[in-house]
Structure 1
């Protein structure tokens, strides 16, 4: 996928809403035993990368270091008309940092008021001596808005053929 195509998808209004207002994504990766995993995880969008953070000792850290290709989805909507999804494929880079990553705290702030966020930060700073900062650089992106008719290509073709 060309850079401008990635940028077009990521800068669409709906994609930006999901990237900046959602607090949980689903991350797919290969574990160290080469079997697939999908996990819910908090994330922060930097305008270039999706950053997730975890304990430096978490199993996904070793897995992503060995197999950095990942897929990520962020979605919303409880009805077909409200269903929206942002699908990202990319490569993860892992960096162990001292203390708590700023992106981890910023991600939590999306879902908390100021008082709860301050307590969360204090608890995190007491808990984590180190964290893994996992930065995912998108290589392929698609934004879907099912209610607005922005569908996967195969589904769009099916609708056009039967419509």
Structure 2
């Protein structure tokens, strides 16, 4: 994950690096990935590649390139947030929790 240097979340993550992350879908049945681990923050000059890739993916190649070009100015610094999971879980509503789906029907 990436953010701009100086963001309040970076100070919080450096002070308390133990994190929990939930990644899910908005489709039914939901697919949920749960992570727990420690966040490590590293800063670098310029736009980190994954930030540019996310703009290209969500805004399209042309608009993504324009978005990144507007932000990629001299002196810009970004931070990369990496989490090494110490625990991973999956909420599987189709195979592991089928009663949840049956109750919805």
TM-score of the alignment, normalized to the shorter chain, above 0.5: yes
Q: 1:104 aligns with which of 26, 31, 51?
A: 51
Q: TM (normalized to structure 1)? A: 0.55
Q: 2:86 aligns with which of 112, 124, 139?
A: 139
Report the Cα distance in structure 1 between the residues aligned to 2:90 and 2:56, rounded to whole angstroms. Answer: 24
Q: What secondary structure is seen at the aligned counterpart in 2 of 1:65?
A: helix
Structure 1 position 73 matched with structure 2 position 22 = yes
Q: TM (normalized to structure 2)? A: 0.82
Structure 1 position 56 matched with structure 2 position 5 = yes
TM alignment of 1:1-163, pairs within 5 A: 52-79=1-28, 82-126=29-73, 129-146=76-93, 148-151=94-97
Q: 1:59 deviation in Å?
A: 0.7
Higher-Rg member (1/2): 2
Q: 1:57 deviation in Å?
A: 0.7
Unaligned runs of 5+ in 1: 1-51
Q: What secondary structure is seen at the aligned counterpart in 2 of 1:135?
A: strand
Report the Cα distance in structure 1 between the residues aligned to 2:75 and 2:66, rounded to whole angstroms. Answer: 14
Number of positions where the alignment pairs a residue of Structure 1 with one of Structure 2: 99
The answer to which structure, 1 or 2, has the higher relative contact order (CA under 8 A, 6+ apart) is: 2
Change (3 A) 1:127 1:60: farther
Report the Cα distance in structure 2 between the residues aligned to 1:84 and 1:127, rounded to whole angstroms. Answer: 41
